[in-house]
Amino acid sequence: MKPLQSRRMIGRSTELEALNTLLAGCFDSNFAAAIISGDAGIGKSRLIREFLLQARAAGARTIVGNCVPLSSGTLPFGPFVEILRQARRWGDE
């Protein structure tokens, strides 16, 4: 069964606004990166999904890197390796 999810995102307007401010700078030929972290269940995935929808609708290309939990912790640069692999597929400089 798919979890119930509101069509409207609630409670993350400040964070979404901060991400959109970073995005606006990118359209002026700047680079931006955001790292989203926090405890399970606080809305990180929903925030990211909402932001990605808005960013792509505005014409941005997006990349997401994820941490892979391991028994001994996480790979410290795992998300960055994933991001670089995705960016390489674009074929841009």
Distance of CA 25 to the CA centre of its chain: 16
Separation between Cα atoms, residue 39 and residue 75, nearest integer Å = 17
What is the structure's pLDDT at 47? 92
What is the structure's pLDDT at 37? 82
What is the structure's pLDDT at 91? 73
What is the structure's pLDDT at 93? 60
What is the structure's pLDDT at 39? 85
- Rg for the chain, CA atoms, rounded: 15
Structure tokens at 89: 């597929």
What is the structure's pLDDT at 21? 92
Separation between Cα atoms, residue 21 and residue 7, nearest integer Å = 23
Separation between Cα atoms, residue 56 and residue 39, nearest integer Å = 27
What is the structure's pLDDT at 5? 60
Positions in the chain whose pLDDT score sits under 50 = none
Give domain limits for the chain: 1-62, 63-93
Separation between Cα atoms, residue 51 and residue 48, nearest integer Å = 5
pTM for this model (two decimals): 0.68
Q: How many CA within 13 A on the CB side of residue 74?
A: 10
